[in-house]
Amino acid sequence: MKPFESVNYLDIDNLFSEEELMIRNSIRQFVTSEIMPIIAEHFEKGTFPKNLIPAMGELGMYGSTIQGYGCAGVSPTSYGLIMQELERADSGLRSFVSVQGALCMYPIFAFGTEAHRQKYLPKMATGELIGCFGLTEPDFGSNPGGMVTRAKKDGADYILNGSKMWITNGGFADLAIVWAKDDAGDIRGFIVDRETPGFKVVEIKKKFSLRASVTSELIFEDCRVPASQMLEVKGLKGPFSCLNNARFGISWGVLGAAMACYQEALEYAQTRIQFNKPIASFQLVQAKLANIVTEISKAQLLALQVGRLKDQDKAKPHQISMAKMNNVAMALNTARICRDILGASGITYEYQCGRHMLNLESVNTYEGTEDIHRLIIGQTITGISAFSN
Ligand code: TGC
Ligand code: FAD
Tens-place pLDDT, residues 291-301:
999 999 999 99
Q: Which-ligand-closest: CA of 369?
A: 2
Which residues are catalytically annotated? 367
Q: Helices 76-89 and 237-271 sit at what angle, rounded to 10 degrees?
A: 50
pTM summary value = 0.98
Ligand 2, atom 15, residue with closest C-alpha: 142
Q: Helices 76-89 and 283-311 sit at what angle, rounded to 10 degrees?
A: 150
CA nearest 359: which of 256, 247, 239? 256
Confidence band for 355, pLDDT divided at 50, 70 and 90: very high
What is the CA(329)–ligand 1 centre distance, in A?
A: 20
Distance (Å, whole) CA 194 – CA 173: 7
Distance (Å, whole) CA 331 – CA 351: 16
Ligand 2, atom 12, residue with closest C-alpha: 371
Ligand 1, atom 51, residue with closest C-alpha: 367
Can you tell me the mean pLDDT for 211-235?
A: 98
CB atoms < 10 A from the CB of 71, how many?
Answer: 21
- Can you give the pLDDT at residue 388? 80
Look at residue 357 and tell me whether its pLDDT is greater than 90: yes
Strand 273-274 vs strand 199-203: parallel, antiparallel, or unpaired? unpaired
- Can you give the pLDDT at residue 283? 98
Domain boundaries, the chain: 12-126, 131-233, 237-382
At the topology level, CATH places domain 131-233 in Butyryl-CoA Dehydrogenase, subunit A; domain 2 (2.40.110)
- Tell me if 142 CB under 6 Å of ligand 1: yes
What is the CA(240)–ligand 1 centre distance, in A?
A: 4
Tens-place pLDDT, residues 5-59:
999 999 999 999 999 999 999 999 999 999 999 999 999 999 999 999 999 999 9
| 370: phi then psi, degrees, rounded to nearest 5 | -55, -45
Look at residue 325 and tell me whether its pLDDT is greater than 80: yes
Q: CATH assignment of 12-126, given 3.30.70.3000, 3.40.50.1000, 1.10.540.10, 3.40.630.30?
A: 1.10.540.10
Q: Which of 93, 104, 136 to mutate to test the pocket of ligand 2 (most atoms within 8 A of CB)?
A: 136
Can you tell me the mean pLDDT for 118-130?
A: 98
Half-sphere exposure (CA, 13 Å, Cβ side) for 121?
Answer: 26
Confidence band for 117, pLDDT divided at 50, 70 and 90: very high
Q: CATH assignment of 237-382, given 3.10.50.40, 1.20.140.10, 3.40.50.720, 3.40.50.150?
A: 1.20.140.10
- Can you give the pLDDT at residue 141? 98
Confidence band for 1, pLDDT divided at 50, 70 and 90: confident
Q: Which of 100, 178, 240 to mutate to test the pocket of ligand 1 (most atoms within 8 A of CB)?
A: 240
Topology alike, domains 12-126 and 237-382: no
What is the CA(39)–ligand 2 centre distance, in A?
A: 26
- Can you give the pLDDT at residue 63? 98
Distance (Å, whole) CA 346 – CA 267: 13
Check residue 336 and give left, alpha or beta (phi > 0: left; psi -120 to 50: alpha).
Answer: alpha
The rounded percent of the chain whose pLDDT value lies above 90 is: 99
Q: Which-ligand-closest: CA of 83?
A: 1
The set of long-range contacts for 15-19, using a CB threshold of 8 Å and a minimum separation of 24, is 15/304, 16/77, 16/81, 19/78
Tens-place pLDDT, residues 298-320:
999 999 999 999 999 999 999 99
Around ligand 2, the residues with Cβ closer than 6 Å are 99, 133-136, 141-142, 166-168, 210, 215, 362, 365-367, 369, 371-372, 375, 387
Confidence band for 198, pLDDT divided at 50, 70 and 90: very high
Look at residue 174 and tell me whether its pLDDT is greater than 80: yes
- Can you give the pLDDT at residue 291? 98
Contacts of 6 by beta carbon, 8 Å cutoff, 6+ apart:
13, 24, 84, 255, 256, 259
- Can you give the pLDDT at residue 389? 66
